[in-house]
């Protein structure tokens, strides 16, 4: 594993997903799951997310569309929150999910809208606390 790529990935992962979430994920990893944490941190975040070709907000929009199409609700909720950290608006997220509904099927769009609303509600509740 490239330590520099891992370190760059970890830094960006914390910036985008939130340090608390990432630190909790790393701390709760065990012998079985730690290799996946390391792989995703180095490969996804250190090799791809750090590339200069797309802005973080654009990567977030693309991720929301792909994760919606793949029906990965946990990751979708996480990346909806991350997209807001990257400057994406709720209206832009809605537009992406409408696009998902047209090209990936209305059930995918409906589920994704529900998950996005849950993410928004969690963020709004955290702000009020």
**Per-residue pLDDT tens over the stretch 34-71:** 999 999 999 999 999 999 999 999 999 999 999 999 99
Angle between helix axes 106-128 and 56-69 (nearest 10 degrees) is: 130
| Tens of pLDDT, residues 67-87 | 999 999 999 999 999 999 999
Measured distance CA(29)–CA(65) in Å, rounded? 28
Secondary structure of the chain: what % helix, strand, coil (to 5)?
A: 80, 0, 20
Measured distance CA(93)–CA(42) in Å, rounded? 27
1 SS3 class = coil
Domains of the chain: 1-53 (no CATH), 55-129 (1.20.1290.10)
Terminal Cα-to-Cα distance of the chain (whole angstroms): 40
Name which of 14, 91, 90, 96 is nearest 61 in CA terms. Answer: 96
> Rounded to two decimals, what is the model's pTM?
0.91
């Amino acid at each position: 594993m490239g330590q520099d790529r891992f370190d760059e990935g970890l830094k960006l992962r914390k910036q985008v997903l939130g340090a608390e979430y990432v630190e909790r994920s790393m701390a709760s990893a065990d012998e079985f799951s730690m290799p996946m944490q390391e792989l995703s941190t180095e490969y996804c975040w250190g090799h791809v997310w750090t590339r200069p070709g797309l802005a973080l907000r654009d990567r977030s929009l693309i991720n929301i569309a792909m994760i919606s199409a793949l029906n990965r609700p946990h990751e979708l909720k996480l990346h909806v929150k991350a997209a807001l950290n990257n400057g994406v608006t709720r209206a832009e997220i809605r537009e992406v999910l409408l696009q998902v509904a047209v090209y990936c099927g209305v059930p995918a769009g409906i589920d994704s809208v529900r998950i996005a609303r849950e993410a928004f509600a969690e963020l709004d509740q955290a702000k009020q606390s």
